[in-house]
Structure 1
Amino acid sequence: MLTRKQLELLDFIRSRMDRDGVPPSFDEMKEALDLRSKSGIHRLITALEERGFIRRLAHRARAIEIVKIPEAMEKSGFSARVIDGGRRTEPARNPMAALPAHAMELPVMGRIAAGVPIEAISEISHHIAVPGTMLSGSGQHYALEVKGDSMIEAGINDGDIVVIREQDSAQNGDIVVALVEDSEATLKRYRRRGDMIALEAANPAYETRMVPEHLVKVQGRLVGLIRSY
């Protein structure tokens, strides 16, 4: 039996993984549940782990895997979006899914900077199999290998593979591939501030980059993550 706060946190983690493909940070959990400190979130996370609803992945910042959900939440159609593995992957096994996931081949378009922006990516380096359940909507998808650690508190680490849905717009809080001045591509959280775009890192060692709106083009939104060990 879970408490109301434990259920709220599990549902928030579920919704954020379904939306972004990565778990929320402790700060985002604290804000969502209106708690005063991260220690409260830590206690809730520990309780959920002890009861077998989540599992924390070793040596990965903020890396959480949902193992099971209560029956009431299961009826809402949860579909896990984060899987473990390297370049060669198998379809994710989701015990809540009615049908097995089918793997699909996506092009890996090179490396994307989760740190200092690098040159725009345009060449396919190889292909990777990803679960069909990770692909959102009917648009085109591609994958990128992450370089750098600026998104580590969003659960995105150096060497991970991110799955991107092609789109040219974003909502505040989305993690996107942003093309800056038609020459540099970077993976950051997107926020609009007047006529400026804030490209936010998820690592306190990196400052938020403010760029005039006309110099930023959204190339896609993060919908999934494949962890590489």
Structure 2
Amino acid sequence: MLTRKQHELICFINDRLDETGVSPSFEEMKEALDLKSKSGVHRLISALEERQFIRRLPNRARALEVLKMPERGAKPVSKVVTLPEASPANVRPLPNPANDVIEIPLHGRIAAGVPIEAFEGASMLAVPAALLGGGEHYALEVAGDSMVEAGILDGDYALIKRQEVARDGEIVVALIDNSEATLKFFRREGAMVRLDPANRAYDPQRYTPAQVRVQGKLAGLLRRYD
């Protein structure tokens, strides 16, 4: 049995497919169901997929297929949970569910070799919430092989927590001379900043502190297998 929102969503998708032959966008689904963010749409679609009401068509954007509709006369359920009263001292924030998905900005490509220009505009990347902790995050697509010995490969998506400070040994996004960015281990070496690769074929890069601005540290990785 579907929840009310799941029922509303599959009906909306089915109606749109009947009318146009194209499934609605996540933004259209968010507005139709009066949801606050597209992460709620991701959760509903995943739930409908698990119950085999819909399936995503591979290698096609915005491609959903309705496999079956709820039985006639079946009423959507409303989830009502009664919780005991709690004092403020006992209230704790709930962790994100393991299958929760959120969207973070995807800012172009970043070099894991020689520095290249980063932040080439922005789109959005859906990321499992369990991969991210607190704070603000964004993603960059990795270009190059200088971090392969740290398990960071060309084409990976680096999930970055925004911050302007770093400790020795952390993997950071370093903006060099306010124009180019690179992904490297951050270390201090006397009066200099050293950015270390994780590939023996590459040499460390040394800069004055004024040349380097930390843009964030690595929080996680996403990898696609085609």
Q: TM-score, normalised by structure 1?
A: 0.55
1:102–1:132 Cα contact (<8 Å) kept: yes
- Show the counterpart of 1:155: 151
**How far 1:120 moved relative to its partner?**
3.6
- Aligned equivalents of 2:192, 2:149: Cα separation in 1: 24
- Show the counterpart of 2:131: 134
1:150–1:206 Cα contact (<8 Å) kept: yes
**Which string of whole-angstrom CA distances, capped at 9 and with x for unpartnered residues, describes residues 140-183 of structure 1?**
11000000000000000000001000000001110000000111
Query: Which of the residues 187, 191, 212 maps onto 1:216?
Result: 212
Listed as ranges, the matches of 1:112-123 within 5 Å are 112-123=110-121
- Aligned equivalents of 1:201, 1:176: Cα separation in 2: 11
1:145–1:162 Cα contact (<8 Å) kept: yes
In structure 2, the CA distance between the partners of 1:98 and 1:209, relative to structure 1 (3 Å rule), is closer
Match of 2:167, as an amino acid?
A: Q
Q: Percent identity?
A: 52
1:103–1:132 Cα contact (<8 Å) kept: yes
Q: Which has the larger radius of gyration?
A: 2
- Show the counterpart of 2:103: 105
- Aligned equivalents of 1:186, 1:209: Cα separation in 2: 10
Listed as ranges, the matches of 1:164-183 within 5 Å are 164-183=160-179
**How far 1:99 moved relative to its partner?**
4.4
Q: Say yes or no: does 1:184 pair with 2:160.
A: no
1:116–1:186 Cα contact (<8 Å) kept: yes
Q: Say yes or no: does 1:145 pair with 2:141.
A: yes
Structure 2 gaps, min length 5: 1-58, 62-94
- Aligned equivalents of 2:98, 2:208: Cα separation in 1: 44
- Structure 2 SS opposite 1:118: coil
- Show the counterpart of 1:50: none
Structure 1 gaps, min length 5: 1-85, 89-96
RMSD: 2.0
Match of 1:188, as an amino acid?
A: K
Count, aligned residues: 133
- Aligned equivalents of 1:197, 1:120: Cα separation in 2: 20
2:112–2:143 Cα contact (<8 Å) kept: yes
- Aligned equivalents of 1:122, 1:176: Cα separation in 2: 18
Q: TM-score, normalised by structure 2?
A: 0.56
Q: Say yes or no: does 1:206 pair with 2:211.
A: no
- Aligned equivalents of 2:168, 2:208: Cα separation in 1: 16
1:120–1:182 Cα contact (<8 Å) kept: no
In structure 2, the CA distance between the partners of 1:147 and 1:195, relative to structure 1 (3 Å rule), is same
- Structure 2 SS opposite 1:176: strand
Higher RCO (C-alpha under 8 Å, 6+ residues apart): 1
